[in-house]
A = this chain, B = another copy of it.
Amino acid sequence: MPVITVHGPKMSKEQKAELVKSFTEIASKIMNIPAQAFTILIEEMERENVGVGGVLLADREK
């Protein structure tokens, strides 16, 4: 522990690597817990599988 789960858009491997690195550094410092204890799970969501304000993101472009 801690476990950080990110539900977000499709990302490149480089973006994910940077996100994992930066999140772990910041959270490790704030929580005063060694970086090694952190697990980060990235769930890339299709725009058709996310709704905001009652509308699918995939339908927002129309």
* Interface residue ranges, A against B (CB under 8 Å): 1-9, 11, 13, 15-28, 30-31, 33, 35-45, 48-59
Contact = CB atoms under 8 A, between A and B. Distances in A.
Contacts of A42: 49-51
Total copies of this chain within the assembly: 6
Given A11-B31, A41-B45, A50 B5 contact: no
Given A39-B39, A43-B49, A1 B6 contact: no
Closest 5 CB pairs of A and B: A20-B51, A2-B8, A24-B54, A40-B51, A42-B49
Contact of A7 (B25, B36, B41): B41
A56 B17 contact: yes
